[in-house]
Amino acid sequence: MSLATALCHNGAVNPTVQATPPAGAAEGLPYWTLWFLLLVILLLVVFIFLRDKDLRRRISAFLSGARRHMTRLRIQARMRKEREKKTALWRELGRQAWSEDVRADCIAEQCASLSALDEEIGRHQKTWHDVFSRIEVLGREHDAAVKRFRDLVAEQEEARRPHQEEMLALANRKKEILEALESSLREVEGAEAQLAAVERDIRQIESNPRLAGAERAARLDKARGRAASLTGLLAALREKTPRLQDERYRLERRLEEAEARVRLFNAAIQRIEDEYRERLQAREREIREWQKAKERIQDKIVDVKRLTEPLFETIGRILDEARIDHEELAVIYFQIDGVNKTIAELEGRLEHLK
């Protein structure tokens, strides 16, 4: 008897408690069993497929239909390319016939239309050359005007240069004079202040009763000597200051004259620039207008040439049917025949796939 059964008989086990399985007990199928079952299922599917002929036929028909569809799409794409190649050969045939002056009743109408378009292209090309020549003339005139403008400005700048150099030299000299004048004025103020201090010392010495006669005399001689030296220095500085002022005024007048001359040259340069700016801008606007006209004519030529393409194609198709004998057209006939053969083969393959 198990322990659980014994406990139940003894009434010692709660009925809600479940017995746990012993350690080492299996919790599921072995791993190799799953692969074995999958292999059995696969063998059954293969066995069913081999015995069911109708299923095999339907699967084969499905796969074969997909292959035929893809093959048909590839053949159709190649046929489109071959037909485009044939159309391009027709245009080349028509263009070659037109350049070789091949004429026939079957293409008379198309040749007449091409002649009219060719004449129109010729008129546009003549107009284009006239416009191009006019642009070249205007360009040369514009370049000559620019050179003349630059030469005139350079001439004025060259004539202005010595006056500018003189003005700069005078301005630097004026700056030096002003600095010397300011220094002289500061020295005068300093000397005057020192002289006033010495004169006060003299008065104090003279009014001091405690000084002996010899000491007073020595101090007075020294102070009066200092005062005499300062007085001489002030006289020299006061004599120098007017000379600096005079030189300053002369420099200012010369500087004003040099600045006036420079302003005259600047005004001349400005007049030249204003005159040529308007002239050059007007010429540039005219050149731009002619260039726009040239572009419009080029667009017209392209449009007319685009109209000739369908005519060349029509002529080529007619000549391909008529097969007019001409040495220069034989090569293109041969190429068209090759394309026709390829298209026929592709059409036969398509028919076989139905």
Report the alpha-carbon angle 252-255-258, nearest 5.
155
Residue 304 lies in a domain: yes
197-224: burial string, b at 16+ Cβ within 10 Å, e else: ebeebbeebeeeeebeeeeeeebeeebe
The contacts of residue 194 (CB under 8 Å, 6+ apart) are 230
Q: Does residue 192 or residue 294 have the better pLDDT?
A: 294
Could you tell me the pTM of the whole model?
A: 0.54
- For the chain, the domain total comes to 1
* Most confident by average pLDDT, 87-96, 222-231, 241-250, 345-354: 87-96
pLDDT above 60 (res 90): yes
Q: Does residue 102 or residue 56 have the better pLDDT?
A: 102
Report the alpha-carbon angle 126-131-136, nearest 5.
125
Report pLDDT for 49. Answer: 63
Report pLDDT for 82. Answer: 93
Residue 63 lies in a domain: no
Residue 189 lies in a domain: yes
Residue 98 lies in a domain: no
Residue 82 lies in a domain: no
pLDDT above 60 (res 71): yes
Residue 192 lies in a domain: yes
Angstrom distance (rounded) from CA 307 to CA 178: 86
Residue 234 lies in a domain: yes
First-to-final CA distance of the chain:
82
Residue 117 lies in a domain: yes
Cα torsion angle, 191, 196, 200, 205, sign? positive
Report pLDDT for 54. Answer: 65
Containing structural domain, residue 180? 103-323
The contacts of residue 86 (CB under 8 Å, 6+ apart) are 336, 339, 340, 343
Q: How many CB atoms lie within 10 A of CB 138?
A: 17
Decide if 255 contacts 172 (C-beta within 8 A): no
